[in-house]
Amino acid sequence: MLVLARRINERIIIGDNIYVSVVDIKGDQVKLGIDAPAQIKVYRQEVYDAIQEENRKAARSQGTLPAFDSLFEKGGKDRADSPETEKHNT
Amino acid sequence: MRIRSKPFGEIDIDERQRIFFPFGILGFEHLKEYALMDASQPPFFWLQSLDVPDIAFILIDPHVFRPDYEVKVVPSDLSDIAVQSNDELIVFSIVTVPDDHRLMTANLQGPVLINRDKRLGRQSISLDPRWQVRHFIVEELASIKG
Which of B72, B62, B44 lies closest to B106 in space, CA to CA? B62
Q: Determine phi and psi for A13, rounding to 5 degrees.
A: -115, 130
pLDDT of residue B118: 97
pLDDT of residue B96: 95
User: Which residue positions in chain A have pLDDT lower than 50?
Assistant: 75-83, 85-90
B86: Cβ–Cβ under 8 A, 6 or more apart, which residues?
none
Residue from B41, B51, B140 whose CB has the most chain A CBs within 10 Å, to mutate? B41
Type of residue numbered B127: L
Does B101 contact A61 at a Cβ distance shorter than 8 Å? no
- Domains of chain B by range and CATH? 2-145 (2.30.290.10)
Rg of chain A taking only CA atoms, in angstroms: 24
CB A8 within 8 A of CB A32: no
Rounded average pLDDT over B132-142 = 94
Alpha helices in B15-136 (DSSP H): 75-79
pLDDT of residue A74: 58
- Distance, in angstroms, between A45 CA and closest chain B CA? 12
Going from the C-alpha of B12 to that of each of A74, B5, B111, the distances in angstroms are 37, 10, 27
| pLDDT tens digits, B42-80 | 899 999 999 999 999 999 999 999 999 999 998 899 999
Write the burial class of residue A90 (CB in 10 Å: 0-12 exposed, 13-18 middle, 19+ buried).
exposed
Does B94 contact A62 at a Cβ distance shorter than 8 Å? no
Q: Assess: ipTM above 0.90.
A: yes
pLDDT of residue A7: 95
Write the burial class of residue B60 (CB in 10 Å: 0-12 exposed, 13-18 middle, 19+ buried).
buried
Rounded average pLDDT over B4-31 = 96
Q: Which residues of A touch B97 (CB under 8 A)?
A: 58, 61-62, 65-66
Q: How far apart (Å, rounded) are the C-alpha atoms in residues B40 and A84?
A: 6
pLDDT of residue A90: 39
Which residue did the predictor score with more confidence, B82 or A38? B82
Residue from A39, A54, A64, A81 whose CB has the most chain B CBs within 10 Å, to mutate? A54
pLDDT of residue A80: 47
Q: Does A66 touch chain B (CB under 8 A)?
A: yes
pLDDT of residue A73: 67
pLDDT of residue A65: 80
